[in-house]
Amino acid sequence: MDVDALEAAAAATLPPHVYDYFRATAGGPEVAERSTSAWSAFLHRPHVLQDTERIDTGTTVLGTPVTTPVLVAPMAQQVAADPLGERATAAAAAAAGSLIGISTNTAVPFAEVAAAGAPWWFQLYIFKDRPISEQLVDRAVEHGASAIILTVDITGLRHPSPEANYAVDPTDWPLSPAADRLVNLDPDLRERARGEGGWFARDFGFRAIEWLRERTGLPVVVKGVLRGDDARRAVDAGASAVLVSTHGARAFATSVPSARALAEVADAVGTDVEVYVDSGLRSGIDVATALALGARAVFLGRPVMWGLATGGEAGVRNVLERVHQELVTAMDLLGAPTLADLTQDLVVPA
Ligand SMILES: Cc1cc2nc3c(=O)[nH]c(=O)nc-3n(C[C@H](O)[C@H](O)[C@H](O)COP(=O)(O)O)c2cc1C
C-alpha cells in the first residue's frame, strides 16, 4: 500500500488546519521521516522450506482474540476526518477482526463505539482535575472497554514548532474545544475540563497503574515507554502490557524511534507481560519486523486516519486489510507460518 499517496489524497480532501493537526509531529518533517524510516533500518533472514501453505495471523491481546495483530491506535478528533468518526473506525476494525483504542478526547459516545462491535480499549490521559479521569474510566468500563491504555508520554509542552502548538493549551485546540469533544462526561465535568483542570497531570507516577487496576478491574497498558528500565518498573507496578511508542513522533522530537526501542523493552520484560508497538509503521513488512523484534501486536495511527478521511469505514477497512495482506505475504516469504514463528533471529540491522 502506498501510504504517501493515501496521505496526499487525504490532504486534498481535508481542511488545511485539520490535515496539519493530523500530520503534526513534535518537530519538522525530518522527525516524521525518522519515525518511519527506522523500520526500514532492518533486513530479514528468511527461512526456506517451511510449510507456509496456511498462514495463521490469529492471536490474543490481553485475552481478547483477534484475527490480525494489526490494531487501531487511539486518535483524537476523528470526527474531523469523517462525520462518523470512531463509529466508522470501530466498524472497520470489527470487520477486519481487529481491536480499536479509543482516545480520551473522542467526540463519540462510548455506547456508539461499543455498538460497532469491535473489542475496544480506552486510552486515558490523567487530568489535573482527577474526577474527570475517574468518570471517563468508569463510563468506559460500563460500556465494555476491556483494558485501559494509560498514555504517559505527553506530560507537558512539546517542541515549540508552530504545527505542534495545539499541545500547548488543551482548552484551545484548533479543531474543537474540550466541551465539544469530551462527550462521555457529565456537563459539569466537561465544563471543568475547559479550565485549568483540563490540563494533563504530571504528578501521578507509577502508582497510577495500581490505582487504575483497582478502580476499573481491567488490565492496564502503559503507552509511550521507550526504555527497558521504565518497562520493568511499569510491570513491577502492575502493568499488564507496555506499548512502545513515540506518540507518532508527536511527543518529543529527539526521542529514539519506536523501532529502535522495541527490542530493548521486549528483552527487559521477557514473557511477563505483552509488548506492543506503534509509531511509523507503514506496511506489512514493518509489522513483520515489529513482531520479530518482540511485539505481540502493533497499532496503526495515521494510515488509518488517512483511510478514514478518504473513504470512511470502507477506507479504514481497506488500510487494515491491505497491511494485513502484506503481513501474510511477508510471513510466507520469511518461512514463518504463525506469529510465534516471527522471532528476533529473522531480523538484522540493515
Ligand atoms: C491525529 C492524532 C491524534 C492522536 N491522539 C491521541 C490520543 O488522544 N491519545 C493517545 O494516546 N495517542 C494519540 N495519538 C497517537 C497514536 O495513538 C499513535 O501513538 C500514533 O499515531 C502512532 O504513530 P503513527 O501515526 O505513525 O502510526 C494520536 C495520533 C494522531 C496522528
What local confidence, expressed as pLDDT, does residue 175 receive? Answer: 63
pLDDT of residue 174: 54
Instruction: Give yes or no for a contact between 213 and 222, defined as CB atoms under 8 angstroms apart.
Output: no
Write down the domain spans for the chain.
3-334
Q: Tell me, what's the pLDDT at 11?
A: 97
Residue 103: CB within 6 Å of ligand 1?
A: yes
* pLDDT per position as a tens digit, 37-66: 999 999 999 999 999 999 999 999 999 999
pLDDT at 77: 87
Of 17, 44, 47, 247, catalytic = 247
As a whole number, mean pLDDT of residues 69-74 equals 98
Q: Which helix or strand (DSSP H or E) is residue 242 part of?
A: strand 241-244
Of 29-43, 47-61, 152-166, 242-256, the poorest mean pLDDT is in 152-166
pLDDT one-digit tens code per residue, 196-209: 777 788 888 999 99
Q: Is the CB of 248 under 6 A from ligand 1?
A: yes
Q: How far is the CA of 90 from the centre of ligand 1 (A)?
A: 15
Rounded average pLDDT over 304-329: 98
CA of 250 to the centre of ligand 1 (A): 8
**Is 143 known to be catalytic?**
no
pLDDT given for residue 179 in this prediction: 62
Residue 191 pLDDT: 87
Helix axes 284-292, 302-334, angle to 10 degrees: 70
Say which CATH class 3-334 falls into: alpha beta
For residue 155, is pLDDT > 90?
A: no
Give 173's pLDDT tier (boundaries 50, 70, 90): low
Check pocket membership of 25 for ligand 1, CB cut-off 6 A. Answer: no
Cα 256 from Cα 49, distance rounded (Å): 37
Mean pLDDT of 100-129: 96
pLDDT-derived band of residue 178, with 50, 70 and 90 as boundaries? low
User: How far apart are the C-alpha atoms of 289 and 151, rounded to whole Å?
Assistant: 24
